[in-house]
Amino acid sequence: MPQTKRKPLCVDLYGQLRALGELPTAVHTDARTLVTALAREASGRGRPITLSEDRLDAVDAALRAAGAFDGVGALRTAVAGWRRQTRMKADADGINAYYDAERSDAYTARLAGPQAALAGRCLELAGLPDGGRGSLLLDVGCGSCLSSAPLAAAGSVPVGLDLAREMLLVARRSGAEVVHADMSRPLPFRSGVFDGAVSVSAAQFLCEDAAGEAAPERARRCLSETRRVVGGRGGAAVFQFHPPPEAAQAAASLLLAAARHAGLAAALAVDQTHHTAAVRWYLYAAEPPAAAPHASAPPPPGGCYACAPGAGSEGGACCVLRLARWAERHGLPAPQPAEEHVAFLEREHARYAHKLLRAWRRLSDASHGRAASPTAAQQQPGALAALPPLSADERECAERLWRVVGGALPRAEDLKAPPLLERVIDALHGTAASEPPAVSTQGAEMPRVGPNIIRVCSGSTKACR
């Protein structure tokens, strides 16, 4: 039999060549694909990549036989470790070592479009008078000022602040006004000098210990200083951030707690800013209204069943629609999302509601031996038994939606039309009074569903997560 041809295999990952060992050339391509898949898994970003079981077994066997790792599991652990080692440390030395001249230029060239969209959303959520035109804004963690450019284009006057020297040099070449400072330390500005503040893709670094100081203290100081320099002059502070995928809720909760500790009215929001399945996190923080008792901050609005984890719970992330209603109700600077984005979010809410109602009705009928539709009639008992149940929150939401629609499954298009759309959105926000619509619900049966119900949340639709 011909001898298997082997060659050393190295892959470029996190800026370094990683030796996988002397592997059969027949598995080199699959081994490279596997490393890419494991890197995406470690970061929580990018579309998942899968290999067939036999190809994965072949790579695993090759690694065990003559590789540098004892199988796929050991390689997965190594990839996660490499990522941790190469992540930027949040102190001054780490930031300046990471953002050297080459990386600063590459970052600026690659992320201009996405950063502009995120900065634009921050400006909308800040609720500034006249859309921010003429407002003096602090751009916290501005980097090379990719976020400042769209703010200036909207008529605002941004002043950037960052700790990375090379990034600030890039910003100055574009004519931006910037200051070299650490956002987790006292800020070098007079109290009340700014009308509002924004931050794009920087606040996640406050969720890490740095320079011998714990993350909660760093975040509290940043939000306290932000409150001091903004001082309720008309707009909110809005920080867009990328929490680590393995601890997203913990990082978001840390920032929310820091804002509330600073005495700010604060809320977490998630938003499909790029109109894709990817969601982006935002922290909204504003000076409590002076008319409030003791100027106390109102509690956060809670979550949105259609788009975020923690729905219905205090401190859960909400959508932009609920954030705007909450801010307006409490006399805070109200977010002003663009009409196009509002229409997109309304469609996403209606689509999620229809999915939940359809599954609720169809599988309720199946559990009672009724066939409400050909699809329901084709459901097999074995298949139903394999379906995971709705969570308690999802069950509560489905019941609320069922009351809102009057005990009958409407067409998807009907859910998008006012006034039903407003009631559906309220139900998804957990704020509906469960008032039935004008259509009589007399005789309508509330679906009784057992444990064998499809779970339509957690990834079945873009609006869910």
Residue 39 domain boundaries: 6-86
Element spanning 377, H or E: helix 374-377
In order of 104, 242, 459, the CA distances from 144 in angstroms are 7, 18, 35
Mean pLDDT to the nearest integer, 248-259: 93
User: DSSP secondary-structure letter at 295?
Assistant: G
- Coil, strand or helix: which one is 270? strand
Distance CA 373, CA 377 (A): 6
Which residues, including other chains, have CB under 8 Å from residue 303's CB and lie 6 or more apart?
309, 310, 311, 312, 313, 316, 317, 318, 430
283, 316, 337 — which closes off a domain? 337
Element spanning 24, H or E: strand 16-24
Q: What is the pLDDT of residues 225-242, one digit of tens each?
A: 999 999 766 789 999 998
300, 316, 337 — which closes off a domain? 337
| 303 lies in some domain | yes
10 Å Cβ neighbour count for 90? 21
347 and 406 assigned to the same domain: yes
287 and 414 assigned to the same domain: no
333 and 381 assigned to the same domain: no
| 342 lies in some domain | yes
337, 371, 400 — which closes off a domain? 337
pLDDT value at 7 more than 70: yes
| pLDDT-based confidence at residue 439 (cuts at 50, 70, 90) | very low
Question: Using omega within 30 degrees of 0 as the cis cutoff, is the peptide bond preceding 298 cis?
Answer: no
Q: Count the domains in the chain.
A: 3
| 1 lies in some domain | no
In order of 8, 208, 430, the CA distances from 56 in angstroms are 19, 36, 45
| 176 lies in some domain | yes
Q: ∠ CA 322-325-326 to the nearest 5 degrees?
A: 85
User: DSSP secondary-structure letter at 430?
Assistant: T
Query: Where residue 324 sits, what CATH number does that domain have?
Result: 3.40.50.150
16 and 119 assigned to the same domain: no
Distance CA 204, CA 218 (A): 11
Residue whose C-alpha is closest to residue 397's, from 308, 326, 304, 302: 304
pLDDT value at 449 more than 70: no
Distance CA 271, CA 48 (A): 21
Looking at residue 366, what is its pLDDT?
A: 56
Mean pLDDT to the nearest integer, 23-32: 92
Mean pLDDT to the nearest integer, 153-181: 91
346 and 452 assigned to the same domain: yes
147 and 214 assigned to the same domain: yes
Between 164 and 312, name the one with better pLDDT. 164
Of 62-76, 135-149, 308-322, 360-374, the range with the lowest mean pLDDT is 360-374
374 and 459 assigned to the same domain: yes
pLDDT value at 60 more than 80: yes
Q: What is the pLDDT of residues 62-106, one digit of tens each?
A: 998 886 888 998 898 888 888 766 665 545 555 555 555 555 556
| pLDDT-based confidence at residue 390 (cuts at 50, 70, 90) | low
320 and 374 assigned to the same domain: no
pLDDT value at 254 more than 90: yes
293 and 401 assigned to the same domain: no
Which residues, including other chains, have CB under 8 Å from residue 50's CB and lie 6 or more apart?
37
176 and 57 assigned to the same domain: no
53 and 109 assigned to the same domain: no
Q: What is the pLDDT of residues 184-202, one digit of tens each?
A: 999 999 999 999 999 999 9
Q: What share of the chain has pLDDT > 70, as a percent?
A: 74
Q: pTM of whole model > 0.75?
A: no
pLDDT value at 260 more than 90: yes
43 and 184 assigned to the same domain: no
